[in-house]
Copies of this chain bind each other. A is one copy, B any other.
């Protein structure tokens, strides 16, 4: 229930930040809506394609597309006030990352997938939408080089999987996983925690 609410709020928040990214590329209203939908729903879509889990969530619940487009148009209308909202967006995105990860793990668990795939499914749900957004904006995906993000999804997913294996009460597990994932992501932003970079500048010869 809480998970559902966070899910919808996070979808809208993802759609809004994607709309701002579209605005930086001077896209038209259609492009803004597509980028909002792809970013907010792309993670779940990638997970479902990879697992062969049909129907896709937004094909079954098309109102999700409407939520994304509505969030996009709200962003267009209120663009002048958005610059001050960096922190609310970051916090909602951190909540959403944890919620998306749990939802993705659940899909894989229900399909009886192996442990690694459960965690990977959670991670894909959390990060693939942003990767698609960056590809459509013609950029190297941000998630490959910025503050801990995918790592947070992997840790949250692993905790959630372990909790399910040890029969931790579900509500407690969801709350705990979201709290830990949220705290980790916020800590990563505040203290600029990053994975080590791999810098290689030679050509093979």
Contacts and interface: CB of A to CB of B under 8 A. Distances in A.
Contacts of A202: 82-83
Nearest to A118: B62
A68 B110 CA distance: 26
A113 B55 CA distance: 10
Nearest to A153: B30
Given A22-B198, A23-B199, A144-B22, A84 B205 contact: yes
> How many copies make up the complex?
3
A150 B114 contact: no
A116 B26 contact: no
A23 B198 contact: yes
B204 A20 contact: yes
A117 interface: yes
Given A62-B116, A145-B26, A32 B83 contact: no
A197 B26 contact: yes
A144 B83 contact: no
A144 B35 contact: yes
Nearest to A22: B198
Contact of A79 (B35, B59, B196, B200): B200
A141 interface: yes
Given A35-B144, A140-B136, A144-B35, A201 B28 contact: no
14 contacts: A19-B198, A20-B200, A20-B204, A24-B200, A28-B195, A30-B143, A30-B151, A49-B49, A51-B59, A52-B54, A83-B203, A83-B205, A136-B140, A136-B141
When A and B form their complex, which 8 residue pairs have the shortest distance between CB atoms, in order from nearest?
A: A23-B200, A31-B144, A86-B204, A28-B195, A52-B54, A62-B116, A27-B144, A23-B198
